[in-house]
Structure 1
Amino acid sequence: MVSKTVIWETRTGVELEVVEASGGGFERGRVTDSQHVFQIDALGLSPADRIELFGEEAPRDRVLSHLVDDVPIYHGLILDWDYDDAAGTYTVTHTDLRELISGRFLYGIGGYHKDGLFLWEGLSWRGIMARALYYLLRYEVGNNNWAVPVRLPAEEAGVEKFETWCYEMRLGESIISDIEARPGGPDLDFQPEKIVGKYGWEARIGSPFLTGPDFEVTLGAELSPLKGLQIKRRGRGVYTGMFGIGDGSEQRLEVAQVPQPIGPLARDGKVTFKSDVGDVLYQRTRGYLDARVAPTVSWSFNLDASAIDLTQLRIGSLIGVNANGHRFARDGYSEHRVLGFGMDLADQNTVKLTLETLGTGEAEDG
C-alpha cells in the first residue's frame, strides 16, 4: 500500500504538487476539520511559492488529498494555515466539500429576486437532491467562482415536490439536510475520484441509504483485524407497551393501546400521531413499539488496513463480522454500516471507522 498527499486546484481538478506530511490525518463522512502537519524546512518552498501552492490568500481554492495506490480516498478543501516558528511546523486545516454548500444559496450574488421560486415536481427525493446539487455546485458553469468538478447523477423521476422561495434565504446545507430528513429521503456523500488525470468528486445519492462494496472479517480467539472493539447493549429505551395518542381531545381522544405480550418487567410509554385514528393509529403505534422491545446493540471498532481494500471502501459499505470463540461476543454474524472513516498519518496500518450496527445473528449458547 503506497500512500501520498497531493495538493490540487479546486476549480480545475489539476494536480499541483505532491507534498510529504509529517503528521495529522483525515476523516470522511461528516463535516469536520482535519489537519496535515508539514515541516516547513522539508517543504523546501519559498514563502511566495508556499502561499500559491496552499492557496493561503484564497480559501477553498486548493484541495488536499490522501491517495492510496494512486486512488484518492479523501479530498479536503483547505481553509486555515498555522505556522509555529519554534517547532518549525506548518499546519494546514481542511474539510469536506459540504462545508462549501453551507455557504451558498441556490443562486449567487445578483441571482436573488423577490418573486424568485424554485419549484421542483415530478421527481423522487433522489432526483430533487440531484437538482439541488446542480444549483449549488454546477449551474454557473461559465462562472469561474462557482462551478466545482462534481459529477452528478441523472435526475430520477418520481412523485415528490419541493419548493423554496428566494425570500426564505435558505442556505444549501439547510436544503440538503431537509431532503435527507424526509421520509425516504436519501443520504448524500461526496466520493473522491480521479478521472483522466484530473481530480473531483462523485455525488453519491442513496436509495435511501448509501451502499458500497461489502467486507467480511473474523473475530475469534486468535489474532483479529478488529482493533479497539467495544460492544454496548442499552436497555433504557425498552418498552413493554405503548399508548398511541391520536386525534381528538378529552373523552373523545383517540388512544391505541399496544401491548408486547412477552417482555421484561412492565414499562409503558406514549407516542403522539396527531391526526391518526383507528387502525392507522394502532399500526403506527405498533411500529413505534416494535422498534423498542429489545435492547439496542452497538459495536465500535477500527480495522487493520490490510484486512480490506481501502480504495474500495465507501460510506455505506457493510462490514460483516463473523464471531467465533471470542471471549465476550457470542458466536454469530453481525453487520455494521460504515458512516465514516479516517486515518492518522502516524498509524496508517489502522482505519478508523464510524459505524451503525444493523443487526446480530447470535448463535444460541450450547
Structure 2
Amino acid sequence: MNTPPSIHAEWASHLLSKIDLSDHRSILDLGCRQGKTSAHLAKQYPKQLFLAVDNQASEIEQATEHQLPNLQFALQDARKLCMPEQFDAVISLNNCFMWIKEKQTVFNNLYNALKPQGKTYLQFFVRHGHPKNDRFLSHAAKEIEWRSYFKNYSQDYYDVSIPDVCRMLCESGFIIHKLELMKYGTYFKHPDLLEPFFKSWASQIKYLPIHRQDHFLHRAMKHYLNFYHYNENESFYYDEYVLEVICEKPFPVENNEEISYQYGAIEFSQREAQVIKHFLNGKAAKEIGALLDISAKTVEFHLASIKEKCHCRKRSELFQIAIMEGFIHLMFDNKL
C-alpha cells in the first residue's frame, strides 16, 4: 500500500503555485507543523529569510530537523505574537486557524507584524454551505458501540463564516486582494490512506483508548464510503473546501491624499468604494446620500460610473462581480 499523500501539503502547493514570494525579504510561516512546507519554501527561495512558528512543542522539535541557512523555527502562540513590522509577508497554509478561537486577535497580530505594503497569504477551513466531512465522525460516534465514550464530548475547533473573515480582516486594517473558496480533490488508492488525515484533526480521538482509535476511524471511513457510494477496497477522490486569502497592509496615507482601490483592471476612488459598500448592503441612493452627506443624484452618478467599470447594470450582478474580483470585503470595511 502506498504512503498516504499529505493533504495539507497538496493544498498548500495549489496556493503557492499562484504566488511569488521573491519580492519579500523576510517571511513568517504561521502554524508550520513539522516544517515540511517551510523547508520546501526555504529551498525554493534561498535569498529569503523564513521564520516558521507553531504552538506545539512536539511539532517544532520535529521541524528543527530541517537544517537550512535561511530557515529558523520557534515555539510561538499566534495569539501572543508581538513582532512589530518585522516581516514583508506572512503565510499560513496548514489550516491552523481552525484551532484558534480568538481569530480577530491573531489577524491583528499578523497586521502588526507586517511592514507597510506587506502581504498575508492564508489558507484555512471555513463554513462553506456544503456538507462537512466531519459529519462522518459524528455518525460513527452515535453508534451503540461508541456512544458511551462521547457523553462529555466537546468540539475543540472553531468554525468561521466567510463574511466574518472579511469583517475581521477589514477591522484589522487589511486590504483584501483575493478571497476565494476553493474545492480541491485528493486521489487515494485505498480508503485506509485517508484515515491518518482524519486522525490528525478529529477531536473525537482523544476520548478513545489508544487501542480503539483506529477501529473508530475505520467506522467513520465506512460511513464516508457508503455515503459517496465508493467500494471499500477501491481508489477514490476525497474532496474538501478551503478558503484562500491574499491581503495587504496598506502604506500609511496622509489625510489629504486621495485613496484609490485597485482590483485587477478595475480601480475605484474612495468615494466610489463608499458607495459600493452601502449599495451592496442594500441601501438606496437616497439612503446612501444621507449616510455620506452627499445628494442622491451624486450617488447615482457614482453608481453609473461603478456599473460602467464593472460592465453590469443590476445590484445582483455587481454583487457577483464583487465576489469574483475580490472587492466584496468593502461591504464590511468600517473605515469607509
With normalisation by structure 1, the TM-score equals 0.22
**Which structure is larger by alpha-carbon Rg, 1 or 2?**
1
- Structure number with the higher helix fraction is 2
With normalisation by structure 2, the TM-score equals 0.23
- Structure number with the higher strand fraction is 1
